[in-house]
Structure 1
Amino acid sequence: LKGDLNMRIEMGESLLYSWLRHIKGCQLVQTNWKKPSLSWEMKNEDTINTLLSSYIDLLRKEYNKRLYKRKVSAPQLLLQSEIDVLGASFDGDTQNLYAIDVNFDEFESSYNDIDKAIIKVAQKILTTVMFLYGHFDKKTGDIIFVSPRIDESVISPLDKFISDIQNLLYKFDLTYNIRIIANEDFYDKIMQPVIDASKSANDSKDLFMRSIQIYSLFSNHKKSHTENNLDSTSNPKAKDFNNINGYNEMKIGLLVRSTLTRMLANHEISKEEIELMQTAAYSKKTFHLLHPLLRKTSLSNGEKVMRYWSTEVEAYGEKYFICSEWYETPSNNDRPYFMKWLALRQ
């Protein structure tokens, strides 16, 4: 039983590793991240010590819960704690950290009892905040609790508790985005986007992604198994582009690249539209792009083409490069154009 539980935990961490790498675009991801020793300097130590006391007081006064059985210190807590999956993304001067707690045992989830859930979540938030602020000197980031199944009776009170904790953190000028992803959201925001991304991923060290690719390789020869098939092209839920929760988790470049690669390979785009996608006028009007969406690789004479991803995609026997110039800023937002195009292809 212990081995089976460890396997589920490792599979859950592997899935979230894939999610951070391929959906959130993190350049750095590590599972089971721990502080290596006491020799690591703690930044913002005075603030963290004050926060620790305020945090424990909040749990005692507002929730009548004792967070720890004995008196604790910040360094002691951090040496005993870890982050299940830690990711960092870098986009110019913008950096974002993702700290994820994974609970992958859907039948014996420690989140399913509200009293246990509050203690567990409170402890994880506290140590994660101290990690991010004390050792990364970051006041912002995403702290996420992930489980495939949490009893619905727990979700609402747990959301309220997280809101109370977040309000306390705001008083210390800490603006972490703390949230739960479970149940339908787990499938829509994590599982299905990772399955979609596996069509174009090439990462031999990504165990979860490789397992999906191997499964799909054989399942394609057994269409009788389609009701259990992880192939997103046969899953009707993958066609529901009005349900964009999972797509909203993806940066626009990753979304375009993974989606178009799959659709082109599976001939879900007509030859006529592929011709139009090679024109500047259609690409500007439909996708808000300054360059043609597609370019035949044969035009490049084997050289790298600026403003296009270097990986080739094939459709109807012809190979293409996909434009890489996608943005989602207030002054230049391409996402609504691409999502509208997707929605029209249900």
Structure 2
Amino acid sequence: LQQAECDALGVCSNDRMNEIYAVDVAFHESGLNYGGLDETVVRVVKKCLRTAMCIYGYFGVKKAEIIFASPKINRQILDALRPCFVDINNIIQEMGFEFDFRIIANSDFSNLVLEPILEISGNVADTAELFMRSYQMLSLFDKKSLKDTKNVEKQKPETTIRNYQLSKDYVNIKNNQDDYAELKVGQIARIIMREILESGKVDADEINRLQSERYSKDSLGLNYPALVIADSEYDAVRYYSDPILINGVKYKLCSQWFETPANDDRPYLIDWIKKYKDK
């Protein structure tokens, strides 16, 4: 019997329900390949099904989100995998299970996995987390010299340039709300809004207005000022702990974003992002 495992397992628990997430991650620099098209597709499907059975066997639950993630899957393989995932979702539901199988790959991997990890890297102090420590070390050095990709292109292969671009521009502002469908409103604020605020695209008048409770309510749906100066007096529990540096001043960004029928901040935030993203 082949050993079954998954790379990451998460449980989100609240008063109403427990949600289980299981993720298998595969990284092949030249693109996902387990020995040809058919073998690759079969092995990915087997991985996902084994993970589902492990969750059922260990936790006794029939519902979970099972993700296969890879930063690079070539189009031929991805096109072959997608209908297989539709089939296994249908088959598993016919058997009475509610597992949701999905793929996160290529640009989705960058948007949904890499970018949020890089966003929180400044708050991680675990020296055993080698990826985080490597990225933090890279950030210590002169970013201006790192941005000179013309010289790098002459010395490094194309894959190195692409990987560098991911770390340099890790927040990619999208054109409409659908592109944020995988992110909760708080994540959009903490990743996308933060990047815009730090980029210098927002003028001083808007920064001042965002420190007003009334303006923040009218323009973003918040019940607190969107920004407060980091060394001022404020209700710390209502703000993210990591400061934002804007024009040499440290601010804290409000964390009280909600998506409920009675209080939905998401459309306000999306409109605000659209206003500044192309400046």
Correspondence list, 1:236-315, <5 A: 238-242=171-175, 247-300=180-233, 305-315=236-246
In the superposition, the TM-score normalised over structure 1's length comes to 0.65
| Amino acid in structure 2 at the alignment position of 1:171 | E
Q: Distance in 1 between matches of 2:141 and 2:176?
A: 29
- Contact kept, 8 Å, 1:280 with 1:290, in 2: the verdict is yes
- Contact kept, 8 Å, 2:239 with 2:253, in 1: the verdict is yes
Secondary structure at 1:100 match in 2: strand
Correspondence list, 1:206-225, <5 A: 206-225=129-148
- Contact kept, 8 Å, 1:312 with 1:320, in 2: the verdict is yes
| Amino acid in structure 2 at the alignment position of 1:124 | K
Picking from 19, 32, 35, the partner of 1:109 is: 32
1:201 aligns with 2:132: no
What's the CA shift for 1:158?
Answer: 1.9
Which whole-Å deviations, capped at 9, do the CAs of 1:80-100 have from their partners, x for residues lacking one?
A: 211122223345544332212
1:34 equivalent in structure 2: none
The answer for unaligned runs of 5 or more in structure 1 is 1-75
Q: Distance in 1 between matches of 2:188 and 2:123?
A: 12
What's the CA shift for 1:257?
Answer: 2.3
What's the CA shift for 1:276?
Answer: 0.5
Q: Quick one: percent identity of the two aligned structures?
A: 33
1:322 aligns with 2:253: yes
- Contact kept, 8 Å, 1:89 with 1:95, in 2: the verdict is yes
Number of equivalences: 265
1:157 equivalent in structure 2: 80
Q: Distance in 2 between matches of 1:224 and 1:169?
A: 48
Q: Distance in 2 between matches of 1:242 and 1:343?
A: 7
Q: Distance in 2 between matches of 1:298 and 1:224?
A: 32
Q: Which has the higher contact order (CA 8 A, sep 6+)?
A: 1
- Contact kept, 8 Å, 1:141 with 1:177, in 2: the verdict is yes
What's the CA shift for 1:175?
Answer: 1.9
Cα distance change on mapping 1:314 and 1:153 into 2, 3 Å: closer
| Amino acid in structure 2 at the alignment position of 1:319 | K
Q: Distance in 1 between matches of 2:187 and 2:37?
A: 37
In the superposition, the TM-score normalised over structure 2's length comes to 0.79
Q: Distance in 1 between matches of 2:225 and 2:275?
A: 20
- Contact kept, 8 Å, 1:166 with 1:176, in 2: the verdict is yes
Q: Distance in 2 between matches of 1:234 and 1:147?
A: 20
The answer for unaligned runs of 5 or more in structure 2 is 151-160
Correspondence list, 1:1-346, <5 A: 80-91=3-14, 93-107=16-30, 109-110=32-33, 113-198=36-121, 200-205=122-127, 206-226=129-149, 228=161, 230=164, 235=169, 238-242=171-175, 247-300=180-233, 305-345=236-276, 346=278
What's the CA shift for 1:239?
Answer: 4.6
Which whole-Å deviations, capped at 9, do the CAs of 1:150-184 have from their partners, x for residues lacking one?
A: 23223233221221111121123322221112233
